[in-house]
Amino acid sequence: MSEAHDAVEVIIAKRGRSELTDAQIDWVVDAYTRGVVADEQMSALAMAILLNGMNRREISRWTAAMIASGERMDFSSLSRPTADKHSTGGVGDKITLPLAPLVAACGVAVPQLSGRGLGHTGGTLDKLESVPGWRADLTNQEMLDQLEDVGAVICAAGAGLAPADKKLYALRDVTGTVEAIPLIASSIMSKKIAEGTGTLVLDVKVGTGAFMKDEATARELAETMVALGTDAGVTTVALLTDMSTPLGRTAGNALEVRESVEVLAGGGPEDVVELTLALAREMLAGAGRSDVDPADKLADGSAMDAWRRMIAAQGGDPDATLPTARETHVVTADTDGVVTRMDAMAVGLAAWRLGAGRARKEDPVQAGAGVEVHARPGEQVTAGQPLLTLHTDEPDRFERALASLEGGVDVGDAASYTASPLVIDRVAP
């Protein structure tokens, strides 16, 4: 059959800073998914988009074309409203784990389609797979049944959801076009809109351990995604949150599950609790349930009950002992003082090198590997006191992990430390 457009014509238009028409966008996304547009042609177009950008109409249409490449889920049969959260990824970002059962305990269903980690950012599915028996792959019907019964599900996205994104995501990774905001925004939002949630809260990370290193770029991404959600009829807001310091006191799969359970038990690190509650309140407000205070559900144990039911529903044993690494190495403070800085990227790279993350999609991860933080910024330490404990099954990994921590932690006097807010700003339509 003859094609309605030609890939070269679309590439030249964007290379020349022209706006792509709706018809050009619909065709190129569909033709790429069908294999008519070659990888090298889509690479050229992705680079042209990175360099010349897209306006709101173009990004909206591109996202719609990605959604149209696959199926759309429908949660309208559920007896409660739905809300979901997406984080752009960070170090120690275990927030999904306590957040999904917490929001479910407040009467809102959470269909959380999550991914695996790549590089220094941890993946939610990898974390949960450290719970013995837990499985990430559910059918759409299993997902729907669990949402009605338990109110929360965290699982892998099925192959039918935005297949164009899967293909394009892999291409961006190897062509230096990952940073293109129109492509990041449409990649995230096509999956979230196709997932069918009624409310979406975006946690857009800013800082050394984040994808977006500076506030201006993070804000642009947040505004773009909020506009996309709004245009698609999904109630969408974003929080810009700090990712210059790791979240909580752990980075690594089983270590982060353990910490999440502490939060659900009414304890856990202050910053993890603060962000979990901030995101929960946004999700509940979007779903029309501002009358419920999520802090009460952490205190009365109902969030923990929802967690146990969610884990068990997916084959996991909520009472099982979590895996621990065979080897540990303690990093101590050189001097007395206050921890003034702990670089999230350094800790994330160390956890990755210890075996908590992967360099390629097919690499295995170690459930017990990672970094435990004993003193966070603002806390007093004395010389010789433990700052970090490194965990791994393979002791030969310590050397490279320690190299990535070089210069990553500063200890100084209290006067040189200023606390920065965890939630920087809120971006609404």
Catalytic residue set: 86, 165, 172, 187, 191
Question: What residues contact 16, with CB distance under 8 A and at least 6 apart?
Answer: none
- The Cα–Cα gap between 229 and 63 comes to 10
Name the DSSP class of 337.
Answer: E
Q: For tokens 């409203």, what's the residue?
A: 81
Q: Which of 214, 138, 231, 137 minimizes the C-alpha distance to 179?
A: 214
- The Cα–Cα gap between 332 and 163 comes to 47
Name the DSSP class of 323.
Answer: P
Angle at 84 between CA 149 and CA 68, to 5 degrees: 105
Report whether 252 contacts 369 (CB < 8 A). yes
Angle at 325 between CA 321 and CA 329, to 5 degrees: 135
Name the DSSP class of 221.
Answer: H
> Per DSSP, which regions of 229-326 are E strands?
235-242, 250-251
Strand partners of residue 423: 241
Report whether 97 contacts 260 (CB < 8 A). yes
